[in-house]
Structure 1
């Protein structure tokens, strides 16, 4: 049996430098993915960009300090410490400028990070005999040149940041979603924000060495944004972001090796590819998904128009082809009929479509809404030719409260401007439903339930109340009591009487329906 050695591994896995790059990339990608979720929720993306650009000044200062004071070449911990100082200084300057002036945070970030970045470039140029930093390496990164010290640094930073986020996850979560609420329940929001800024600074510092200043923000943001398209829960978002980041790092490195291109660019290219792919096919927020849902979406207006058309043409049933003009197309008609049948509003027989009892009630509500709107538009003075088409648009606004107010405003009309009957609200026919006596129609009887003080001397609860007629103007309700005594009430008094439909009247209404 062949012994397992590096030479037996395929392709790039046989190269020690590639293995180092793979380990460091996965470590940095994992911590960037998790931390990036909090960055997105706190809307700190530009802050990460500022920190990454400010690093060069800190690195240069650390390098210069080690060289001039201690006489030795700078190493990773010294440059990390200098980068952290520069990052914290940059964040402090941004906060200072935005708090003492009318300059907003986004403008302050643009001013400060470019200023500190320029300071770093000048320092590197001015002390070039002491500072040996490859600006191109700093800007573009070189993940395939990762050293053992870089791996150790990445491991320590990743472990520290992930541990901090895990221990104080609830604090970070509350402060990210609702800082005001978090402060109200005693969470030190300022301290949590400072801890997150520290985490971002550490992550950016170790990420710059892998993908460079320009791409480190993408490594921090892109996996988190990809996960954000798939879930609304922070814990799942962090897990998915870590998976996207790690897979992007691994696949990006193999792509870089295969194409012989810069590792940082290949990693970011693959992360961007992941984002675009998820953006297209995400179950809820994907572009293609929303497009398909839009194609499948059937406007409520169409289904309601079909119900109204069925009710108007032949409640006992008509051929589906007669509804084609209402639906607009055969595809829409088929989908609408399936949807209405699922909701038990219609029944489909071979060559025929008919309304169910539930569908008839729904269609009756649509007709009632249409004719109330017609009455209101006529009352408002709209041109007679425009009343019907406008009411056809408004009839789908069947909010019970809106219709109740319109009906009351119009004095509870029984016919529309064309003389057609306005259907009575079928809800009044249900046992136990209490309503104003003004909603009764001539020939209907109700039982008194609540009586205003002004009528208490001549009426009593439980007494029958029969509406004989309304005057020609519809402003007087003529009732007859059980003892045959007449009772004439105006609109306001009829509204004040609360009644329940008599059982016999309710039965007649249901039968006539």
Structure 2
């Protein structure tokens, strides 16, 4: 017990751990909230693009501050340069996707790799003036957080959260129904740019602290985890912020215990957290999906039961139904579900169709006899008409049966001389 307490308490007494915890949690909260809109709008690739394109802005800001003011590694200059690079990247992506047949995802891939390459070239050409560790830029060093990084995040995070709160309804409407948002006069394009600016601010304020890989991960993975648990945007944002914080806290302890890289440990913990939620989420998890599939009643079994009872023209015992519908495992569930759906009623003599069940069974029987008529018209053997039509009677989507009826000239009898049920009129049809 003392060992466990020591394992959790000892890191908290270290200054580097405290700074990493504070800085990481600030980034995680704002990244998780913004990430919800990024995930819902399918902008995940854009966040990755902005984080990679930032190196050109960092290099440009570093170079300008060094040559003009003699300042090295000046955070505000690099922040402004990174933000400018992000804005230019977004503008170029929009320009290319609008004026050419190239789709937006392709434009993102082209522009961000080009601007990233520009940053790498700038760093290599002006290596005597620019002292940037590219590996540190990509992987980050959350255990070596500087005070300037903390202050930058502490300023950017409240600003972005304030924008999200003030324009929450606007972002919500433009995310789920941009056409309606435009029709009621919301500036959809302007809101898109505001959101992109928020994403850019989050990325540029966090990347020097946590690196390119981790900032993209904190934008996407906690939001995706929350998406598995909530259908409401406000709750999704709260959950994403919570999952981001737990990822930082759990990942930092993991990196201390395993003596590993901080950013990698946080992202590993974040991904494992996503996989756990993906497995156990009550509505959208793998276990819930497996249970739904296990309880699912095949539609073909339901339709076979309906037509079996309809053909008997009286209460049908379970033994007769089992004779015609041999899927015993799903048959019991089908009968129970059909009774709940008011398609059949159980009595001492057997099962009877309700009025809705009669209508549904008539549709299936109509399809069966029309298929038999069609098969006979194309020369199918008489002894195979029923078997083949029994398989085809379940194909009734997109007006298939009505097309058959019209093609055959609206026949009244099937090849066996039995009446084909007429088409049912819609309730709203006069």
Aligned to 1:253: 252
Aligned to 2:352: 355
- The equivalences for 1:31-430 within 5 A come to 31-312=30-311, 315-318=314-317, 320-348=318-346, 353-355=350-352, 358=355, 363=361, 366-378=364-376, 382-396=380-394, 415-422=413-420
Checking the alignment, whether the CA contact within 8 Å between 1:210 and 1:264 is kept in structure 2 is: no
Checking the alignment, whether the CA contact within 8 Å between 2:47 and 2:199 is kept in structure 1 is: yes
Checking the alignment, whether the CA contact within 8 Å between 1:256 and 1:262 is kept in structure 2 is: yes
State the Cα RMSD in Å. Answer: 3.4
Checking the alignment, whether the CA contact within 8 Å between 1:57 and 1:117 is kept in structure 2 is: yes
CA distance in 1, matches of 2:173, 2:343: 46
Q: Using a 3 Å threshold, how does the CA distance of structure 1 residues 15 and 377 change in structure 2: closer, same or farther?
A: same
Match of 1:72, SS state, is coil
CA distance in 1, matches of 2:388, 2:188: 53
Q: Using a 3 Å threshold, how does the CA distance of structure 1 residues 112 and 409 change in structure 2: closer, same or farther?
A: closer
Aligned to 1:463: none
1:360 Cα deviation from its structure 2 partner: 5.9
When the two structures are aligned, how many residues end up with a matched partner? Answer: 424
CA distance in 2, matches of 1:111, 1:170: 33
Q: Deviations over 1:139-176 (max 9, x none)?
A: 10011111232222111111011111111122222322
Q: Deviations over 1:194-251 (max 9, x none)?
A: 2112111111112212331133222211122222333343223222222222221221
Checking the alignment, whether the CA contact within 8 Å between 1:8 and 1:14 is kept in structure 2 is: no
CA distance in 2, matches of 1:433, 1:124: 71
Checking the alignment, whether the CA contact within 8 Å between 1:211 and 1:265 is kept in structure 2 is: no
Match of 1:230, SS state, is coil
Q: Deviations over 1:479-512 (max 9, x none)?
A: xxxxxxxxxxxxxxxxxxxxxxxxxxxxxxxxxx
CA distance in 1, matches of 2:332, 2:421: 29
Match of 2:351, SS state, is strand
Q: Using a 3 Å threshold, how does the CA distance of structure 1 residues 379 and 87 change in structure 2: closer, same or farther?
A: same
Q: Using a 3 Å threshold, how does the CA distance of structure 1 residues 161 and 383 change in structure 2: closer, same or farther?
A: same
> Could you say which structure has the larger radius of gyration?
1
CA distance in 2, matches of 1:196, 1:365: 51
Higher relative contact order (CA closer than 8 Å, sequence separation 6+): 2
1:87 Cα deviation from its structure 2 partner: 1.7
Q: Normalising to structure 2: TM-score of the pair?
A: 0.85
Checking the alignment, whether the CA contact within 8 Å between 2:31 and 2:218 is kept in structure 1 is: yes
CA distance in 1, matches of 2:177, 2:213: 31
Question: Gaps spanning 5+ residues in structure 1: where?
Answer: 1-6, 436-513
- Of 11-20 and 104-113, deviating more is 104-113
Q: Using a 3 Å threshold, how does the CA distance of structure 1 residues 184 and 19 change in structure 2: closer, same or farther?
A: same
1:19 Cα deviation from its structure 2 partner: 1.6
- Of 72-81 and 387-396, deviating more is 387-396
Q: Using a 3 Å threshold, how does the CA distance of structure 1 residues 401 and 91 change in structure 2: closer, same or farther?
A: closer
- Of 411-420 and 119-128, deviating more is 411-420
Match of 1:420, SS state, is coil
Checking the alignment, whether the CA contact within 8 Å between 2:306 and 2:353 is kept in structure 1 is: no
Match of 1:355, SS state, is strand
- Of 261-270 and 365-374, deviating more is 365-374
Q: Normalising to structure 1: TM-score of the pair?
A: 0.72
Pairing 1:20–2:19 present: yes
Q: Using a 3 Å threshold, how does the CA distance of structure 1 residues 57 and 377 change in structure 2: closer, same or farther?
A: same
- Of 340-349 and 134-143, deviating more is 340-349
Q: Which has the higher strand share?
A: 1
Q: Which has the higher helix share?
A: 2
Match of 1:285, SS state, is coil
Question: Gaps spanning 5+ residues in structure 2: where?
Answer: 1-5
Match of 2:127, SS state, is coil
Match of 1:10, SS state, is helix
